[in-house]
């Protein structure tokens, strides 16, 4: 890079460790100049069920939101893999197409030997020029994702190829005692790795809570064909068998409704009724409290309204997922409403019945459709539910509500740690003008 360009790209981060504050500014260099060799595309082959006798296959979908390998759902690839097909320590892979474009993963030895798939691009950081952890963290910053948005903005399916990834400008310390800025890179990498370890520890706590809740649900609800749970609170040990009924006998089950064309009937003004779509709720939400869009009064007759305490159940995409509403709302036809719940069954208890493995297996087995599967109201009405007396229902739902609160707090803690890390990276990495790429 010329002296003129070096001067142009002299950068200083907002936050710098004390020992580097008197050093030169950073420079922005193309990522390709920091690599040991050109970016490489993965194996173009279909995945097969996991086998110990075949290589483990690493795909875009095997990367979680934290950039870690989802080993619980691993698959294999039926090829005679050579050494170059496998990821090595320090390697980083980047998604090159589709909705996941830009997503990254830095290989960890503890993930085992992995053959990377064709929709991924491997880059090999040159250790004498850039710290792999430093680079991997830059590839999760907001400024990197801004570049991805620009670089992938094409007609048709978004994508970024190896040449384009090589052109990405990466801010790096220009010099220090070792002459190439690696000491400052290492300091930053160590700091961010410590936060990652803290986040992973909190994620493990979250996984433990979820596993405990899942196991407890299997014990506190009767299994299929049984009328007494394996585990019962002491005060209900002699309370007798649970009653059994079909869901349609204890509630009214109806499908949501959407006025057509829906865009003509939506508003962000206060004068209207909340409009709830499938995408308005994440998988961890138990209660529906608000929506951003509303349905204008003129269209309310063509929708389905729900009220606080009503249960709703997603009937497409992530079908079979229940929620309890806290608001009056209109529901999209991707929802089923479970209303008018009879006095013998509390909505809170019924919510956890629908979350139980018995109900979920039922939903999975009877979902219809060749593409996106869905549930219909008649199928839901036939679901057999078991329930004890109201006092025991309350005890069970309170127990799970307490666990849900712990899980929600843990999720919040992880979210705050991730936000802290993202904010820290914005200060540790100086901002590069993406238009210059």
Q: Is the pLDDT of residue 4 over 70?
A: no
Place of tokens 């666990």: 403
Q: Say whether pLDDT at 396 is over 80.
A: yes
Residue 121 lies inside a defined structural domain of this protein: yes
Q: How far apart are CA 310 and CA 306, in angstroms?
A: 6
Query: What pLDDT is recorded for position 104?
Result: 94
Token digits of residue 101 = 């474009």
What domain range includes position 42?
Answer: 3-197+420-436
67 φ/ψ angles, rounded to the nearest 5 degrees: 80, 20
Q: State whether 380 and 258 are in the same domain.
A: yes
Is 182 domain-assigned?
yes
Which band of pLDDT confidence, cut at 50, 70 and 90, is reported for residue 2? Answer: very low
pLDDT at 136 over 70: yes
- The mean pLDDT of 61-78, rounded to a whole number, is 85
Per the listing, tokens 């290989």 go with 107
Note the pLDDT of residue 43: 93
Rounded-to-integer distance, Cα 340 and Cα 427, Å:
54
State whether 35 and 111 are in the same domain: yes
202 found inside a domain:
no
Residue 352 lies in a domain: yes
Within-domain flag for 400: no
> Is the predicted pLDDT of residue 155 greater than 70, yes or no?
no
Q: What is the CATH classification number for the domain harbouring 165?
A: 3.90.220.20
Q: Structure tokens of 192?
A: 């961010």
Q: Is residue 218 part of a domain?
A: no
Do 138 and 252 share a domain, yes or no?
Answer: no
Entry pTM: 0.84
Residue 25 domain flag: yes
pLDDT band of 89, cuts 50, 70, 90: very high
CA torsion angle 328 330 333 335 (round to 10): -10
How would you class 111 by CB atoms within 10 Å of its CB: exposed for 0-12, middle for 13-18, buried for 19 or more?
A: middle
% residues pLDDT > 70 (the chain): 93
The verdict on 43 and 189 lying in the same domain is: yes
Count of residues for the chain?
A: 437
Beta bridge partners of 278: none
Tally of domains in the chain: 2
Residues 19 and 144 in one domain: yes
| Residue 435 confidence (pLDDT) | 58
Across 265-285, average pLDDT: 79
Q: So what's the pLDDT on residue 28?
A: 94
Q: Are 288 and 432 contained in the same domain?
A: no
* Same domain as 350, residue 262: yes
Burial zone of 424 (CB within 10 Å; 0-12 exposed, 13-18 middle, 19+ buried): middle
What's the average model confidence in pLDDT over 86-97? Answer: 94
Asked if 271 and 374 sit in the same domain, the reply is yes
Q: Which residues pair with 254 in a beta bridge?
A: 337
284 with 139, same domain: the answer is no
Same domain assignment for residues 10 and 129:
yes
The answer to the question of residue 159 being in a domain is: yes
252-269 pLDDT, tens digit each? 998 888 888 888 888 777
**Across 67-81, 308-322, 404-418, least confident range:** 308-322
**Statement to judge: residues 322 and 426 lie in one domain:** no
Radius of gyration of the chain (CA): 27
Q: Express each pLDDT in 213-246 by its tens digit.
A: 999 999 999 988 888 999 999 999 999 999 999 9
Domain co-membership, 356 together with 257: yes
Between 160-174, 206-220, 291-305, 351-365, the lowest mean confidence (pLDDT) is in 291-305
């Amino acid at each position: 890079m010329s002296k003129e360009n070096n001067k142009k790209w002299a950068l200083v981060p907002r936050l710098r460790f004390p020992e580097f504050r008197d050093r030169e500014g950073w420079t922005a260099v193309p990522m390709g100049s920091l690599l040991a060799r050109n970016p490489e595309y993965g194996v173009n082959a279909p995945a097969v069920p996991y086998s110990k006798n075949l290589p483990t296959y690493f795909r875009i979908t095997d990367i979680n939101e934290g950039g870690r390998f989802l080993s619980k759902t691993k698959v294999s690839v039926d090829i005679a893999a050579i050494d170059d097909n496998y990821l090595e320590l320090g390697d980083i892979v980047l998604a090159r197409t589709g909705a996941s474009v830009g997503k990254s993963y830095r290989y960890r030895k503890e993930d085992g030997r992995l053959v990377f798939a064709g929709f991924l691009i491997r880059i090999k950081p040159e250790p004498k020029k850039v710290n792999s952890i430093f680079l991997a963290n830059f590839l999760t910053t907001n400024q990197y994702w801004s570049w991805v948005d620009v670089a992938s903005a094409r007609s048709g399916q978004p994508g970024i190829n190896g040449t384009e990834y090589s052109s990405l400008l990466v801010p790096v310390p220009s010099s220090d005692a070792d002459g190439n800025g690696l000491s400052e890179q290492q300091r930053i990498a160590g700091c961010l790795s410590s936060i990652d370890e803290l986040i992973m520890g909190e994620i493990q706590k979250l996984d433990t809570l979820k596993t405990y809740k899942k196991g407890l649900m299997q014990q506190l609800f009767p299994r299929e064909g049984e009328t007494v749970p394996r585990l019962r609170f002491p005060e209900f040990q002699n309370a007798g068998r649970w009653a059994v009924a079909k869901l349609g006998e204890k509630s009214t089950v109806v499908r949501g409704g959407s006025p057509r064309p829906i865009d003509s009937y939506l508003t962000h003004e206060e004068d209207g009724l909340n409009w709830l779509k499938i995408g308005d709720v994440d998988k961890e939400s138990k209660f529906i409290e608000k929506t951003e869009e509303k349905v204008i009064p003129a269209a309310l007759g063509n929708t389905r309204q729900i009220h606080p305490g009503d249960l709703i159940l997603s009937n497409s995409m992530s079908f079979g997922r229940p929620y309890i509403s806290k608001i009056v709302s209109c529901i999209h036809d991707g929802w089923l409403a479970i209303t008018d719940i009879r006095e013998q069954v509390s909505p809170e208890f019924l919510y956890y019945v629908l979350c139980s493995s018995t109900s979920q297996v039922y939903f999975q087995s009877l979902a219809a459709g060749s593409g996106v599967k869905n549930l219909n109201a008649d199928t839901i009405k036939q679901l057999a539910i078991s329930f004890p007396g109201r006092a025991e229902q309350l005890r069970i739902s309170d127990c799970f509500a307490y666990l849900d609160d712990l899980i929600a707090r843990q999720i919040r803690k992880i979210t705050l740690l991730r936000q802290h890390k993202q904010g820290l990276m914005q200060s540790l990495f100086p901002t590069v003008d993406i238009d210059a790429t």
